[in-house]
Structures are given as C-alpha cells and as structure tokens.
Structure 1
Amino acid sequence: MSHPDLSAGTPHRMGAHHDGRGVNFAVFSENATLIEVCLFSDDGTQETARIALPERTGSIWHGYIAGLPVGTLYGLRAHGPYAPEQGHRFNSHKLLLDPYTREMFGDWVNSAVTLGYVDGSPKNDLSFDTRDSAAFVPKSVVSNPAMFSGMASGEHTKSDLDLIYEAHPKGATMALDGVPETLRGTYEGLASDVMIDHLHNIGVQAIELLPVHSFVDDKFLVERGLRNYWGYNSIGFFAPEPRYFGPGGLRGFRDMVDRFHTAGIEVILDVVYNHTAEGDQRGPTLSFRGLDNASYYRLTAGQSRYYVNDTGCGNTLNVAHPAVLRMVMDSLRFWVEDMGVDGFRFDLATTMGREDHGFDPKGGFFDALRQDPVLSKVRMIAEPWDIGPGGYRLGGFPPEFSEWNDSYRDTVRRYWRGDAHSAQELGARLLGSADKFEHSGRRSDASVNFIASHDGFTLADTTRFSKRHNEANTENNRDGHHSNYSDNCGVEGYTDDPTINAIRSKRQRNMLATLFLSQGTPMLLAGDEFANSQQGNNNAYCQDNDIGWLNWDHADQDLTAFVARLSAFRKTHVSVRQQRFLHGGARPDDGLPDVEWTDFNGEPLGWRDPGLANLCLTLRCSADAPEYDPCDDAVFIVFNRDVEVADVVVPKAPSGHRWVREIDTDRPSGDFSGAFVTIAGESVVAFGLQREDGE
C-alpha cells in the first residue's frame, strides 16, 4: 500500500522523528528485502495503512511521510527469508516494535501468536506461523520532539567516592508512608519529598535504579501468575517502562531526574544491553529477531539456528556489529542528553566487551565510549561477569569503569561469619582491592563495594537465614545463589529470642561499618539501612509484592540512625575515602606510613594464622598525596571478631591532637562513656583525630 505524501526521506537519524511537517522513518536491516511501516488507529486496534519504505542507503531503510501527526501509532513489518538454519527469521505477519521508539501504546500480551513459528508443530521453530500478531503487541508512537528537549545531567566528576543507593523504581515506595497513593511505585513517587529526605539523612549521593528500559514479562512467569519484577528482560532501549508511570506519564521520569538533581543526587540506570526479551529460538518475534536476527544476535558457529547464550537468558546481543553498537551508543546518549541521567551500571558487562576472539578491554564498545564527547563524561559501572567462556573479569575493565566487587561482598560476609583465612582477605578489601584494580592508572574508587545487592540475600537476611527460601518463585527452591556466606546466628528465620536478635543486629552494624570504613565506592542496597527482609528469598526477581517491596512499616529506625552516623563519619574523614591505593609508604611530612596494621597490643600484625580474627588498622592520607592536596586526617579502626571484650593499644596521637571514639557498633547511639581502649566483643570501633583545643 502506497501513501500519497511519501518521499525518500533520509537515513541519518534512526527511528521515527517528527519535524513539524511530517515524520522521517529510518530502520536498520542488513538482510531484509522490504521494510513496511504500518499505521494504526488512535486506539491501536485497526491497521489503517501499510507503507513500504521507498529507499535503502546501505543497510538503512528510510522514507518520509508528510502530514503525519505527532502521536501517530505505528509498527514495523520486515520481509525476507525465513531460514532459521541460516540465521534468518523474517516473518511479515509479526508486527515489530521500532527499536528506536521512545514511547509505546498498549501492552504485551502473552500469546503464541507472537511466535514466528507454529507452537506445537513437529518442526518446532522451523515451521512458519501466518497469524497476524498486531493485536498482541504494543504500538510504537511518533513522539512529540518537545517532550525530549535537552536536559542537563548532574555535576559528577568521576573522581568522587560517593554513596550509591541501589533501588527498585517501584518497590522502593510501594509501602512508604508520606508518598501519595497515586504516586507510590512510580517515577514521581521515587523522587517524593519523603524519599529524598530519607536519602539525605543517610548521605546518599547517587541512586542506582534497576532497569527502566521497557521490558516484557517472561512467558513462564505469566503462566505461573507471576511477573518479571526486576526488569532484566529489555525490549525497548529508548522507552521508559510504562508500568512505573504516574500521573505525569513519560514526563514523570524527567521530573524525577530533575528533582533528584535539585536535591544533589545523581541518577544511575542499570542497563541491559547484553540480551533482549526475545529469548532463544523458541521465543517470540517482537522486534530485533524479526528485523534482522542474523545481525542483532550472536549465533552459534556452524548452527545459525541457535543462539550464543553467554547471558543465561537465551540470547546474546551482538554489540560487535556496527549497527547494534550504534543503537547502544544512541540509546546511552538519549538517556543522558534527553532524559538527564548521570551514568550507567552495565548488567553482565563482560558481554558488552566480547569480540569474535573473546573479551577485549580495547574492543569496539569501549573504544566508542572513550571517544564519545557525551558518554566519556558520565559514570560507568560494570558488572564484570557473565556465564560465557572466561566471563569472570573482575578488575579487567578499562580505567573509565568502576566495577561491582563481589569479592568484597563475599569476603566481608565470610569474615563476620568466622571463616578461616577470611581476615587476610579482608585486609585487601578494606584498602580498595589493589590486588584487583591497581593497574592501568586506575584508582581505588574503581571498586564498588557492597554487602548486598538486588541479586541475593538482603543484609538482614544474611544474618537470619543460612539457606535460601525461594519457594514463592515456583521453581522448587532451585533458583538463586547457592553460596550466600550467610549465618542465621542460631535459628533459621525469624525469632522472638532477644539474644539472637541482638546478635543479628550487631552483625548487621558490623558489616555496615566495614563497608563505610573501606576504601572504594560504597553501594547500599535499598532497605539495608533499616534491616529490610525478603523472607529469605535470595532471588526475588519475580516477586512484585510484599516480598520484593521495601517494608517501611517494620523499619529499624535505630539502624537507620547508625547508617547516617557512618555516612557522616565517612564524609568527615577523607582518610577512609582516598583515591590512591595505600601501601604503607612513608609520608614526606612526618615520615609515618600511610597505612599500618597492628594487633591489639600495638605490635605489627602477624598474618599467618588461618584463624586470625582481630586486627587494627591505622589510615593516614596517602604518602603519594600531592602538595596541592594537603591532608592531615587519620583514623584508627579496630575489628574485634572474638566474643570477648578486649583492651587495645591505641597509636600515639600527633602533637596537639587526641583520638576520639566516633563509631562503635556495640554502642550505636554514640554513648562512649568509659575506657575508650576497651573494645566489646564482636564489634567495630573507629577513632578519629581531634585537635585538643576542640577545633
């Protein structure tokens, strides 16, 4: 079907863009024989026109339709060979989402009609389905360009060692008093006054949101009456997920970012460019598969019917392909320039750096980021692993990246659980994991330290459960991590025993104190500041309910106050948040080492004992600190894992100064009366230097 106002248009800007007079469409497909734009009625139920894009420049199909208004609903159909053994899965009966659409109208409907093949056929995915899927998929929307006028991102300098707060865009506020009912679980609610006040109270400087790219609920979850709660099943890399919209719709996302920026808080997005919601060869045809399966995905060598599955999610996006890399880069710039975000955390980031020869820190994706004038200035965080060959790459990313340090998480948990040899490992983690990151000019802030994240036990559940309890996921408790390094402190699950609860509370404070007193960039899982529990579920990816939502009604306010105290201590004492790695070098001004390890008697610490449990750490400003960055701060930290009270020899304070106990996990309220050299069992104590004149 032709259109009277159709012309060639241009290939320069991908997607559908309104210029005030009409719409230019540009769609990538290297292997298609024809691309059609399908227009729909305002309610999305009737296809009103089917227009073949008239021109092809390279692999970009394009056309311009004059008179087409903002808000027009459309979809794409791609013609070409249906030859799965050759990697091609074109099926023009399947309406496809425009990969570049910034808005969507309607919902995804779980139906076999979205499959490119006949469900139940003996030929499986080699069969061909001729049913029209338009009624079961949302429509792309021609956006009003005024909606996306440029926004300023925050003032991040990439050298700050900030406190990052990992939160779910819905679950953070669903049960939070003070958020209006109409805003709970929405982008606007996340940036409500009560939430921002809470973040300010505990010193948060950046909020990291679980995926907000539009995503699809997995078929197997829908059939079990569940939903994909976390959102790691992306389908639209330019469109905010509509289920989090509040009264302001899409503009509510931009308003959220604006409010966070006004409050001095950065916004970081967890992004999933490693796979899509289309799954393996048995999955639906929703967008990329139908547009050009052989280009968008990595296919197995010699068996192009099947997908490389380095992600564990059925497919792997082929970021090494120039057009796919361009889409990822365009998407990242869109979220910075048009939506105002300040950085990204890349899910399964090893996949992003994979070339044909394997992971390459000098590969095309990293090269593109380095030279990009927009993206080279924002914060980049890698989850440095996937399940592919050689997929665990902690410390192996380029200097432009920080990395989630799971070694830090496991070490801190193991140390406070009492595991042998864990104190030796803890020493390295407290100093920024130089063994992992001190190369290629990297700084200690490259290590993103965390005790818990969305994936695994919460901090509180680490002290309540020794085993996962994921029965609600309907997978017979087989899903989720096996190795949690958790300890129930004597009773599995919840208990009214005050002794056990006191042990658990102190264990939580000990781990939190360890986090805030470590070199590197600290990250706090939302809710850990008030002992939030997920009922022992360590894989709540499908729990869009009370299990996955933060339980503010049972918040431990005393723990929150302690976290605020820790955050203030870290902000005050630069010696615990230095960019340079510390190795005990002599400082030029006083000859003292920038780091000292001692035992409770003040003697050099012996590291050989596998049961080593107690250690003291003195931190001073780096011996390599430049003259233009003077620093005379110092802290003295005691880690006492034994149950017994101990007397500790405190280092001699510099002339005119004294040591003042500022943090004590045994006395979280700050009542430090009594001998300051006496340390309670199973506790962390931190001393700061104070001038004797009190200034």
Structure 2
Amino acid sequence: MQVLPGKSYPLGATVHPDGVNFSLYAPNATEVELLLFDQHDHHRPKHVISLSAKTHLTFYYWHCFVPGLEHGQVYAYRVHGPYIPDTGIRFDGQKVLLDPYALAVVTDTWDREKARHAGDNCATALKGIVVDPYLYDWEDDTAPNHAFERTIIYELHVGGFTKDPSSGLPAEMRGTYRGLIEKIPYLKSLGITAVELLPIQQFDPYDAPPGRLNYWGYSPISFFAPHNGYATHQDPLGALDEFRDMVKALHKAGIEVILDVVFNHTAEGDENGPTFSWKGMANRTYYMLSKDKRHYKNFSGTGNTLNANHSVVRRMIRHCLRYWAGVMHIDGFRFDLASVLSRDSDGRPMTNPPLLWEIESDPVLASSKLIAEAWDVELYQVGNFIGDRWAEWNGKFRDRLRSFIKGDSGYAEGMMQCLLASPDLFRTAERNPNRSINFATCHDGFTLNDLVSYNHKHNLANGEGNRDGHNDNLSWNCGVEGPTQDPEIDALRLQQIKNCFAILLLAQGTPMILMGDEVRRTQGGNNNAYCQDNPTSWFDWTQVDKESDLLRFVREMIRINMTSPYFQEAHFLNSHHTTVNWHGIRPGEPDWGDDSRSLAFSLYNPDYDEEIYVVMNTFWESLEFELPTPLGHEAAFWHRLLDTALASPYDITSVTPDEHLVSNLYTVAPRSVVMLIAKSTVEQPWMSTREMSYDRLVRDE
C-alpha cells in the first residue's frame, strides 16, 4: 500500500479525489500507527501503517496521505510513548484510539471495561469512519432563522420522544431520528419554533451504574459524530444520513434545531476511567490536571474536566461547532455547564476566556443561537456570563416561579423581576430580554407533573440509594405524595400546572418547555432519570388524548405568546413604547411585602389597539381586584381571555364583542392566573402579518 507524507491540516480524515489525508495531534508521542479495517465489524486491521517521525511528523502533528482510500473507510490509531502518570503523560500503545475528529464512529463491539484495564483491546475498541460530508443532498434546505423574540424552545430527547410503543410507530423506528420525523406534525400543532435536543453527539451508553444505561447522553465519545443508537440502521453512515434527514424535515416544518453540546468533560472519566481517545494522545492538553498531574480536576462532577481554553482544545471545539452549523445545518447550541468553558488550565475563572469570545465572534456562527447553562459544580454565572450575544438558562426564573406558585412568602418582588425577563440579572446596553431562557422544568429534575405531585425525590431505581439528584426541588405535592384518586387534589395539581404554563408564557424572555409537560408526563418522582432508558423517561403518547384539555390550554397559551404584540418584546419594558404598570388589589398600589402572594400588572403601548391586564394569585384564598381603567381605550371594556381556575374550555377562550365584564371588580380564585384584554375592536384579536406567518407555521402541511 502506497503511503505519502500528507499534510498536518486539516485535522482528522479528509477525503480527496485520489485518496484520504489523515492528521492527528499527539505531542510527546514516539510512534503512531494508523489502522485500516476492511469492514466496521472486523476485529483486526487489514493494514497497519507506521508513521515515522522523520516523514510524517510536523511539530506536534502526525500525518499521512493514503491514495485510493475513500468515503466509508474504517480506521483507528495506536499511539506509543512514555507512560508517566506523575507527569500527566498516559500513552498506552496497547489501546486502540478513536480520532477526536472522526465524523462517524463504529461502536458495534465497544467494551468500556476493556478500555479501562491493561491489555490489547483492538477487538472491542471504538473506530472512526472516513466521511465525505458533502455527498449528502440537502436539496433546498433553508434555516428558519427565527428571532429570539419569536422563539419557543421544546427540550426533547430523541430516543425518549418515540421509544414507547404508544407512539404507534414500527418497532424499528421507535426512539430514532426517523421516529422524530414522524412526530413533526405534533410539534407543529403544539406551536413551538425550536427543538433543543439532549446530546446527540456520540456518547457512551455504558457510562452508568452497573445494570443501567446512560440515557441522557452527557458522556461524550466523539464531538463530531451523531449518535448511532438513534438510527434505524445501526451503522455509523446510516446515522449520519438519518440525522440530516431529521434536520431537513424539521426545517421544512419551520422548526429550528438546537443541540445540547457537552464540551465540559468526556466519557474517559478520571484516572480510573477508560482510555479510548484524548487521554491516550495528549492527556495534558485535553484535560485539567491536579497539581500532582496524576489526578483530574472535576468541575463537571463526572470525573474529568476538558481543558477548554488550551489553544488546541479551543480549536477543536470551534471546528466542531463550525462543522455542526455549517455542514450539518444546525441552528444553535446549548452549552452544558458552560461555566467550565470560562476556566483556565488550572481551573481558575478567567475575566475574558478566549474560547467564549472566539465562539461569539466566529463569522460562521454569527447566525447561530448560543445558549449557556451558566454554571458548573462551583461557579454560578447567571446574568454575568461572558459576551454580548449569549442567552442563558435562567435558573433564578425557575426557582422563583416554583416558590411563588406554591405560595411561599417573600417572592412577589422576585417574581416581578422574572416577568420582566430578569432585568436585575440581564439588563445591559448589549442585551435584550430574550437572552433570558425562562423555564419551570428541564430534563434535570422533576417534570412539571411531578413538581406538583411530590415533595421528595424518589430515585431508588437509579441504584444509588436515593442519594443522587437534588434534595431541594421547591416542589409541593398539593396534599398527597405521588399518585392520588382524590379528584380535588388532582384538580389542584392540574390548575398549578396551568399556572406554571401561564406565567412562563406571559413573561418577557424566551420560554422553554420540557418534553411531555404539556400532557403531564411523569417520572414517578425521579428527579435524576439519567440512567432510566425505559417508560420512566419516555413520552407516553396515550397522554395526548387523556390530557387533551391541558394540551389545548398549552397550545392556546403558546398562540397568545406568539401572536400578542406584548409578549417576547425585543426590548425591556418601559425602555421603548410599551409600559408596564403594577397593581395590587387596587390599581397602582402593588404590594411587594414578604406576605404578598399576588401580582397584578397591565401592559400598554399607544401603537397597539389593545391593553393587557394580568393577575397572579398564589394565595390559598380568593382575592377581589379592582380593575384599572384602560389607559388608551376609555370606552373599551375588559374581556376575559384566561382564568386557570375555570374548567376547560372556559379556562382560556377567544374574545367576542358581546362578552365583556360589566363590573370593575374581579374575584380571582385561590392559586390562579387571570388575563384580561381591553380592545377598541375585538373581532380578530392580534391578527397581523406576524400572526399570519405563525398560522402558516403551525397549520400548513
């Protein structure tokens, strides 16, 4: 087999018309072997190419060009060098290693345990596949490119969304990219504009307690390759095509695709973990090491921490994001434990971390949505994250909302800030309110149904003695722990769920909804279901019919959010034309005291032909509110649009001219949210060009 010197750039395996160029970063290595396999299920390579330092090494980069190779070639490496853990060097020539830049990964025979222990693991190692990413036909795919103020995010697990038999899909399609395609009509009917997918970068399902699987996917094996386990055809190239088919189908439906990316750690774990890629090539480069160099810093809580601001690691992350955005047509990224990315090689927080500024200013990523989970094991940077264009998961919104709706004292003023998109956290000259990603629940914690059904976590099924998961969930079970046959308790739980959705979708900022919350998906009180790849975590499609009233309510709330000119404003309220006025039980007299458990506000803009009045009563007794006189429509009447205390379909209704309130007093029931509207004309509320485009988005097939 002919082997030419090749080039050091680009890294990874690059297809050319006459062959493939391979390049690998491995400083301090003494020898590198390129292994070429005939088939992805072959246990031994057909060819082993030894790369000499004289011919195939440029600085820290080992490279070669092999004529005649093409798309689909299976390959891996052995990297030889000293094993000196006390200096952070961990070469092991017996281990077969995966190219960090591999665009597709062979996982058929992967054995995590054999990668942990001494000895050759060629038969059970991970292998890469040479990919020409430009062979795929994207047809006329166009990114929806929704503005943040026109965005509603749906956090979704690709596997769990359709894996349950109740999905009605053929067995081979359940839990796959293709299965998700089949359910796009449901997503369109819901009205969301973006799906935020839990990790789909190739992850290690065996990085979990004995007898369990890693379901969530926060255990990266390869940053560039889509996860094989979500493909109907269990081969790496099939996963590539099916993933791209899914992206293309979602775009055709007007739905953006945001990836949850995990650049804070890898599945190689700590010094006792497996060696399958980075650790065996450049351990001191890729990971933050402790002072003794033998152990790993653990700001991720998973055993290791990626050394994200090292120049080589920065480049890998940036290249990875460019690949997903530019080649795979991804619309945005949510960065898991993003505060890790602000640390230097010693773990110290940096004032101006180069990686984050490079991501922000990268022209290829200029149109990508960037969302930070702005914390890690030790840092909490919500409201203070680096950069000008990053949006952030607003953990303060979640916590204040949970405390407020269950009637805790002292949260009225904090909830007021949340309704304004938390200007106490986010208001700067460079930011707008939609940089606050508002949520009540996410994958990590209780579902919304469980939030109102359990006071305590129930995680015994995880095999960790119920020690895992958060203990302080700010939840309230409404009187009984877990399932109940008491109709009054169940009705209260449903009302509390509607209250959460109402507040979430009436607040300024960008709302995010957890998969299945709209139909009361439950995890049986498990608030850390990372290893529950079973009905505990899956979407139960029978709930769509069982909870049709709640589903209707959520759809209508999303419609209000998307079509009213008042919600998801592009600017903080009172900074432009829209003003907010706060009230108590009497107009203009808000109560911010610790004992206050209610909020009332009105929104007015002289450019609109309507005014909004909202009351949130989380007290356990009714309160009578005196209604303000509409500022711009003295002759107009108040019409009820929303009252969560009323049974469906009266809980959320359309406005008609002959149905208006005749009194200036409104009795707001315990634990309920009310929304009134005053309009000069009410025949077609909020019909505009913007609404018409939204209608096409959710209704056209």
TM-score relative to the length of structure 2: 0.90
1:569 aligned to 2:560?
yes
| Inter-partner Cα distance in structure 2 for 1:400 and 1:468 | 36
Which residue identity is paired with 1:41?
A: D
8 Å contact kept, 2:167–2:540: no
Which residue identity is paired with 2:569?
A: Q
Q: 1:647 — aligned with what?
A: 624
1:580 to partner: Cα distance: 1.6
1:662 to partner: Cα distance: 1.2
1:20 to 7, 17, 25: 17
Q: 1:441 — aligned with what?
A: 430
Which residue identity is paired with 2:473?
A: N
8 Å contact kept, 1:167–1:207: yes
| Inter-partner Cα distance in structure 2 for 1:514 and 1:228 | 33
Q: Deviations over 1:22-76 (max 9, x none)?
A: 1100111222222221112323212222212342222221110111233221111
1:96 aligned to 2:97?
yes
| Inter-partner Cα distance in structure 2 for 1:249 and 1:299 | 34
Q: 2:314 — aligned with what?
A: 325
Which residue identity is paired with 1:481?
A: H
Aligned in 2, Cα 1:317/1:108: closer, same or farther, shift over 3 Å?
A: farther
Q: 1:617 — aligned with what?
A: 601
Which residue identity is paired with 1:45?
A: H
Which residue identity is paired with 2:358?
A: A
| Inter-partner Cα distance in structure 2 for 1:363 and 1:513 | 38
8 Å contact kept, 1:395–1:403: no
1:158 to partner: Cα distance: 4.6
| Inter-partner Cα distance in structure 2 for 1:68 and 1:191 | 34
Q: 2:232 — aligned with what?
A: 246
Q: Deviations over 1:229-284 (max 9, x none)?
A: 00000010111010000245320100100010000000000000110000000001
| Inter-partner Cα distance in structure 1 for 2:397 and 2:212 | 33
Aligned in 2, Cα 1:601/1:106: closer, same or farther, shift over 3 Å?
A: closer
2:367 to 354, 366, 377: 377
8 Å contact kept, 1:95–1:133: yes
Which residue identity is paired with 1:638?
A: V
Q: 2:641 — aligned with what?
A: 662
1:596 to 581, 584, 587: 581
1:71 aligned to 2:72?
yes
8 Å contact kept, 2:149–2:568: no
Helix, strand or coil at the partner of 1:160: helix
1:45 aligned to 2:24?
no
1:578 to 569, 592, 616: 569
Q: 1:274 — aligned with what?
A: 264
Q: 1:293 — aligned with what?
A: 283
1:577 to partner: Cα distance: 1.3
1:263 aligned to 2:235?
no
| Inter-partner Cα distance in structure 2 for 1:153 and 1:57 | 40
Q: Deviations over 1:588-640 (max 9, x none)?
A: xxxxx711111122242131x2110122111234x9xxxxxx54553110111
1:678 to 636, 643, 667: 667
1:573 to partner: Cα distance: 1.4
The alignment of Structure 1 onto Structure 2 pairs a total of residues equal to 659
Q: How does 1:71-470 map to 2 (within 5 A)?
A: 71-107=72-108, 109-115=110-116, 129=118, 131-148=119-136, 154-156=143-145, 158-175=147-164, 176-192=166-182, 195-221=183-209, 224-247=210-233, 248-301=238-291, 303-356=292-345, 358-360=348-350, 362-388=352-378, 390-470=379-459
- Give the unaligned 5+ runs of structure 2: 654-658, 685-701
1:10 aligned to 2:10?
no
1:514 aligned to 2:514?
no
Aligned in 2, Cα 1:148/1:10: closer, same or farther, shift over 3 Å?
A: farther
Aligned in 2, Cα 1:32/1:7: closer, same or farther, shift over 3 Å?
A: same
Aligned in 2, Cα 1:515/1:72: closer, same or farther, shift over 3 Å?
A: same
1:545 to 522, 531, 534: 534
Moved more, 494-503 or 355-364: 355-364
Moved more, 352-361 or 313-322: 352-361
Aligned in 2, Cα 1:30/1:491: closer, same or farther, shift over 3 Å?
A: same
Helix, strand or coil at the partner of 2:317: helix
Q: 2:692 — aligned with what?
A: none
1:392 to partner: Cα distance: 4.2
Helix, strand or coil at the partner of 1:299: coil
Moved more, 507-516 or 596-605: 596-605
Q: How does 1:474-553 map to 2 (within 5 A)?
A: 474-553=463-542
| Inter-partner Cα distance in structure 2 for 1:366 and 1:55 | 33
| Inter-partner Cα distance in structure 1 for 2:429 and 2:271 | 41
Q: 1:627 — aligned with what?
A: none
8 Å contact kept, 1:44–1:139: no
Q: Deviations over 1:109-155 (max 9, x none)?
A: 3354312xxx5xxxxxxxxx3x2111112321112444456785613
1:574 to partner: Cα distance: 1.9
| Inter-partner Cα distance in structure 1 for 2:274 and 2:576 | 62
| Inter-partner Cα distance in structure 2 for 1:159 and 1:361 | 27
Moved more, 423-432 or 393-402: 393-402
| Inter-partner Cα distance in structure 1 for 2:299 and 2:181 | 36
Which residue identity is paired with 1:374?
A: V
| Inter-partner Cα distance in structure 1 for 2:348 and 2:147 | 28
| Inter-partner Cα distance in structure 1 for 2:410 and 2:8 | 60
TM-score relative to the length of structure 1: 0.91
Aligned in 2, Cα 1:258/1:428: closer, same or farther, shift over 3 Å?
A: same
Q: 1:122 — aligned with what?
A: none
Helix, strand or coil at the partner of 1:419: coil
Q: Deviations over 1:327-364 (max 9, x none)?
A: 11111111112211100000000011222573336321
Helix, strand or coil at the partner of 1:619: strand
Aligned in 2, Cα 1:76/1:153: closer, same or farther, shift over 3 Å?
A: farther
| Inter-partner Cα distance in structure 2 for 1:58 and 1:216 | 32
Helix, strand or coil at the partner of 2:222: strand
Aligned in 2, Cα 1:150/1:361: closer, same or farther, shift over 3 Å?
A: farther
| Inter-partner Cα distance in structure 2 for 1:404 and 1:220 | 26
1:393 to partner: Cα distance: 4.1
Q: 2:699 — aligned with what?
A: none
Moved more, 658-667 or 434-443: 658-667
1:441 to partner: Cα distance: 1.3
Q: Deviations over 1:287-338 (max 9, x none)?
A: 000011011111113x111111111111111111111111111111111122
1:425 to partner: Cα distance: 1.1
8 Å contact kept, 1:573–1:635: no
Which residue identity is paired with 1:683?
A: S
8 Å contact kept, 2:394–2:437: yes
| Inter-partner Cα distance in structure 1 for 2:147 and 2:588 | 38
Which residue identity is paired with 2:353?
A: G
Which residue identity is paired with 2:596?
A: L
Which residue identity is paired with 2:529?
A: A
Aligned in 2, Cα 1:689/1:33: closer, same or farther, shift over 3 Å?
A: farther
Which residue identity is paired with 1:334?
A: Y
1:455 to partner: Cα distance: 0.1
| Inter-partner Cα distance in structure 1 for 2:229 and 2:643 | 43
8 Å contact kept, 1:150–1:337: no
1:605 aligned to 2:603?
no
| Inter-partner Cα distance in structure 1 for 2:144 and 2:359 | 19
Which residue identity is paired with 1:606?
A: D
1:692 to partner: Cα distance: 3.9
Aligned in 2, Cα 1:145/1:571: closer, same or farther, shift over 3 Å?
A: closer
